[in-house]
Every structure is written in structure tokens, then in C-alpha cells.
Structure 1
Amino acid sequence: MSSWKLTKALRDQIYRYATVKQTGVSLRQMVQFGSKPSPGSLFHASHFAVHELPIRLSHRVKDLETLPNGLAKEPAIQTVRNWYAQSFEELTSLEEPVIKDLEMADILSGEKQYEETAKRQVSSQGSKRPYFFSDDGIVIDRRSHGSVSGGGGAAGASGGVSEDENEVHDLNSAHRHVLIPRPRRHYYIPTPKDIVYPSEVVDYNKLVTKVLTKIKRRHDATVTTIARGVQSWKRKKNFTYLDNSVNQFLDRFYLSRIGIRMLIGQTIALNQQAQGNMYSDDYVGIICLRTNVMEVAQDAIDAARFACEEHYDIMEAPPVQLYCPEDLEFMYVPGHLVHMLFETLKNSLRATIEFHQRLHPNTAIEDIHYPPVKIIVAEGLEDITVKVSDEGGGIPRSTIPLVWTYFYTSAEQRIEEYEPTYSSGSFKPPFMGLGVGLPHSRLYARYFSGDLKLISMEGYGTDVYLHLNRLSSSSEPLQ
């Protein structure tokens, strides 16, 4: 990887793709595959991902190269740019599958639509359903037992008619000589399940899964690497805070990354389900049709407390009390919910420990009696709301706007002092000091039309409100 170079020809190709509009996918469209997707529908999804991802990657490469005031020249920024460019190259280099059987080619063109007549029966299972999640250094594994946290620091639309694969997208007048294959309009297109698909279909799905798995692993450390680059640049420029344009770029970049990883993760998981490597009636890819809020919240609690104990080298982190209906379930991405709760809890646990250390300067950290962090979950018609309450001293009112800017942190360990240790997907983020936790979590909430809000009482504590949209029909907020 170290010998890889971004050539002028590849850059020109990337900039041409960056003129093409991105195509959003709704959560509801993603679950239309069902828990047992057909190879034909997976073929459409794989083809969509192979053609849509380069467009999304190209927009981000262009953004990274046009950052102002020397930020684009930071080594860490260029590292991420190269990751995106290399992934773009790998996807655009994949050969288009050729279906020799004319009848099968007609079916896979998307022109023939097959309506699903049998409704999938969601099986009733135990309260602890098998689940594995690993992303951005958070690992949750309860496939074989109750809940294991840790591992590296802590743990819509209906199917439509597809366009011909050979049709091209006509770009602006400066690039009319460039032919860019236009992807299918829909991520999901129904195809029959009761036929035998040729080897070309199965082989293409396996190839795409292999390539996407490699790309996903390559980008594991993107959030932290971007953070290191911006923090280094901010220190060189002697900036106290980031200006609005850089914050807007980071919002746009990180939100796009969530969408890219969602599309990659969903495509990989769907293919794994089809190959029998991952199966549960509750899941369609990485989307859980019956996400149990209490289970996911408990996973996040275990992971955050484990990370806190490891960071402060204490036997037991402050207690966390969870108030949530046991049977509260809705369709969502458990990995996203884990991210948001984990980051919010990390902040609350850190604030609780450090505030009460200041209140009891002569008491050993192990001997301090910490008040509990409380998580209260309420169910509404539109939203499921999660409130995380701590007694960590709160935030001064003048500082609250800075909480939503990137790389503002009161943690003692700064990101420029932190060297990430990752290889082959074993990336481990720091417990604190990144300064991206809350704004990044808000993006996760907003990705599916939710939100994250904060109310503070200086001298007492902070309440964070996480609103989760349960309508699940909105499409991705692409920029």
C-alpha cells in the first residue's frame, strides 16, 4: 500500500466522477431484500454499490484536495485522500459481469419485475439474539453468549426498472467524451428466488463482497486520521477553534463516510447472509427489523464502562442505571445506536470521574463514591428518545456552542499526542481527546432523520437527548 501513488490520469477520472450526482438509499429500501435475499437481487445490489461508491468517493477526494489554507497538504489528510482514491480505483477497475444466457440477462436487466407474494414471518427468539458488530474500534459480540464488550479499547422506495448496463451518463460539456456507466437507479430490485442463477452471478457477488471487505478495513481509521491532520494543522496555524467552513467540511465528510460505510456494510452483510455465513430472521444485512433498545443500550454500557476502567486503570467505573421497556423494539441499525450511546456514555463517565476527583482531591480515585449515570428511554409515535443524564459538573453556558464544533475537548490527552495503533482492521481509538464524539454522534442520529441535543446545568451535570426516528422512510442526506 505504501508504494501506491495517485496518478494524474486517476485524478482526472476522479474529478470527472465528482460531477455526477449521488444516489440515496432509504432504510426501508435496504430491508426489502428480506433475510434470505436471492442471488439476482444481490447482483443488482452489488452492481449498484460498485457504481455508486466511486461517485461518493470521488466527491470526498475532491473535497480533501480543495481544503483551504494549507489544510489539504497535511500528511494525515493526504493519507485519507489516498485511501479514498485507491478504493475508487479498485472499484472502477472491476470488470463488468457478462451474462451469457439471454433469458437470464433479461431477468437481471431489471426490466422484468417479480412481486414477492409470500410475507416473511419474523421468528420469535430469546431476548438475547445473536449479534456481532465491529466498527471504528467498538466491538460487540453476543453470538455465542450474553454480551461481550471490549476488543481494542472498548469494546421507502419500491424496486424500479433498472437502466441498461451499457447506458452512459452524459456529463457536462467539458467531459462529453468521457463515458461513465450509469448505475441502476435502485439498490433493491426484486428477482425470482425459485430459479438457479448462473455462476457469473454468484461469482460477481462474491468478488464484490471480497473487494468491499478490503475497502472497509482500509478506511477503519479515517475518523482519527482526519482528526490528527486537522489538529496538527490547527496547532501550526495557532488557531484556538476551527472556523465555520472547516466545521462544515467535517460535517459533510463524516456524514458522507457514514453513508459510504452503511452501503458497504449492508452489501457485505447481505451477501454473507446469502452464502450462509450470517443468518438471522431478525436481520436484513446490518439492519435489525426488531432492534431491542434495552439490549443495545446494555451492550453500549458494558463497552463504555470497560473502556473507562481500562483508561483510568480502576476496578470499577461509575455505575450506569438503565430505565427502558424490555420489549421496546423498532427497525434500525444497531451499530449506529451503539456508536451514539457509547460516545455519549464515554463523555458522561469521564465527566463524572474528573468532576468528583476535583471535589475530593485528597481521596484515591478508587475510593470515591460516584453518582450513577442514568439512561432513560421513552417511546413516542414518531421518535424513540434516549436521555443520558450525568452528575459530571455540567458545561458553562458560553462553552455549549463549542461542544458541536470538531476537536473541542476538555480531555487532557490531545489527539496530536496520540498515535493510532491499527493494522489489518485492528484499529483502536483513544478513550478521549479526539473531540469528535458528540458532533459525530449527532451525524449518526441525523443520518436517518433523528437528532442529538444537549442541556447542561453548570455545577451539577448534563443531559443528552438522543432522538431516533422510527418512521424509517427518509433517504440518505447526501451532500
Structure 2
Amino acid sequence: MRGRTFRFGIFPEHLNNGRLKATFPLFQRHITRRYTTTRYTTSVVSFYDDKVTKYAEQSIRPVTLKQLIQFGQPPLSTSILLDSARYTKSELPVRLAHRVKALQKLPFIVGTNPYIKKIYQLYFDSFELICNFPEITDESTDDKFAEMLAQIVASHSENIPTLAKDFLDDMISARIGIRLIAEQHIALHNANPNVIGIIDTRTNPAKLIQSCANWVRELCEGHYGSSPDIIIDGQTDTRFAYVPVHLEYIISEVLKNSYRATVEYSSKIDRNFHPPIVATISKGENNVGIRIRDQGGGVAPDHLPSIFDYSFTTVPHDEDSNTAEVDNILSNVSRRAMQAGLGGPIAGLGYGLVFELINIV
């Protein structure tokens, strides 16, 4: 019998690969010995490993609307609720076991990803909780079961973002690097005394900020019908070596947030004017700083932990029909802008600040 453990990361079946055996024979013996020992010295691990296998061998039964209606047809009696609870308790472990097994079969390198390991642990913990829950015989145990299910559902709510985050971060960073190297070589064929490939050795941030502001102002006026002015102050004659297209993207995203916040906050507090947005440029011995300030009410404290998360946006999804109509007009403008490589809409996709952060890094 092969040794196994339920700690995620590497499983002995992965060591059956002939190439891995030939390349890492000592590593194979160490891991196999370690896992075989774990198998026979930790009965709990052995029990749950076998239990997952037993459930995973069962076929998943499709859920039909007829079944759901059967358990939810009013009036709901105690017996109907108990039948539903028993069905749920019998069905979920099978589905969870299939997910656990699928994650166990991932290649070792994939399994070492901390985000994958977190998802694996969630599925296994959920499987364990439901399997260990006592038989549901009355309303009291059903209430406790429903409460436990609510906690499980809540714990799995971030599964997709958790899986996506690390993958997207790496993919976007790699994409930036690939394009940077390729475009640099392409641009080297176009002679310019101040430009080395795509790096402008005399990038003027003041000029670039003004250019971005002009574009964002058009988006803002198309969306809201008005926009604030922008003031560029500080050391406006600063020049430094940078990739202009990256800086342009970063500044555009920050300005879109500032323009939107300023206009919406003016409406919220019945302010009959829009205070200007101020972009200040400072230059040190070895660095250049760009600070963009607005009077748009700031970021809500409960939003701060999420502002760099993928798909996070403060744009409400239940806006009235008039706003929705304006949004449709803006989306057409924004779609054309995105196709032309000019960025996205003024807000709502939830990717602007994340891409900006990755561009900076």
C-alpha cells in the first residue's frame, strides 16, 4: 500500500514518474519514507485519506430544479427541512471529495503555490466538517447544520479571487516584461537622440500629466457633463529617464479616480463648483516624486484593504436608469479607447489600481 499524507504539496503518486525517479532518486526515497511513516503513525490522517477516497469514488449526481423545488415547496414542514438537510449532508461530501482529489492530482510545482494550498485546505476542512457533523434528527441539529453551512459558504466566497490573484499578478508582470524587451528592440531601429528604444531619457512628467489630464477630462465630461481643472506645480521642468507609456498609464488611472471622486463628491455635498486637482512634481538627487491630490472625500476606511484587489470597484451596480443610460454612452467611448490602447473607462472594471501597482513594481 502506498504511503500518503493529507498535507498538501507533494504526493507519492507523483514520484511514480520515471523521469523524476531518475533525476532525484535520493529525494524520492526520502519523501516516500517520510510519507509511509506518516501513514502508519497518524491514524487520523489515514482515516480521512481513505474517507476522501471513498467519497471521491462516488459519482456526482446532477442537481435538478425538480429536486430543489421538491425540498423548497411551501409550506415548509419540519420533515421537509430535515429531508433537505440529509440530502445536503449526503451530497456535499461527494462533491468536496472530488475537488480535494482534483487538487491532490495537481503537479508538485503547482501544489506549492500558497494560494492553491489555501484553497485545498478550505475544501478539505469543509469536507471534514460536514462528514463529522452528527446525524440530523431534529430542528435543533438542522439549525446548527444550516449555521455551519453558512460559515462554509462564506469561507469559500473568495476562492476564485484567491486563485486568480497570484496567477494574474505573475501573468501581468511577465507581460509587461515581455513587451518591454520586445518593444525596446523594435524601437531601437528608430533613431532619436533623446530616446533609447522605448526609454525616453528626457521624460517630462509635467507635459505627460497635462496630456493625460486632457484625455481624462474628456472622459469625465462625457460621463458626468462636467470636470474639475488641474493645476500642475512644483518642479515642472523636471526631466528623467523612464518608459513614457508606463508612466502615462499610471497617471491616467490615478487621474480617473481623482476626477470621478471630485465630481461625485461635489454632487453628494451639493457643492456648486469642482475644486481643482493638484499634481505636484518634486525631484530629489536620485528620484522623482509625483503627488496627485483632490478634494473628492477620500477613500472610505472599509475600502482601503481592497483597493488593490482584482475586480474591486466602488461603482454601484444598482444605479438608476438615467445614470445607466449615460454609462452606456461612456462604455462605447471607453471601448473604442481601450481598443486603441488608450486605457479603460473612468471607473467600474476594478483593474486600474492593480495594473498601476504592477507597472510601478
More helix by share: 2
Larger C-alpha radius of gyration, 1 or 2? 2
What TM-score, normalized by structure 2, do the two folds share?
A: 0.49
Greater relative contact order: 1 or 2 (C-alpha under 8 angstroms, separation 6 or more)? 1
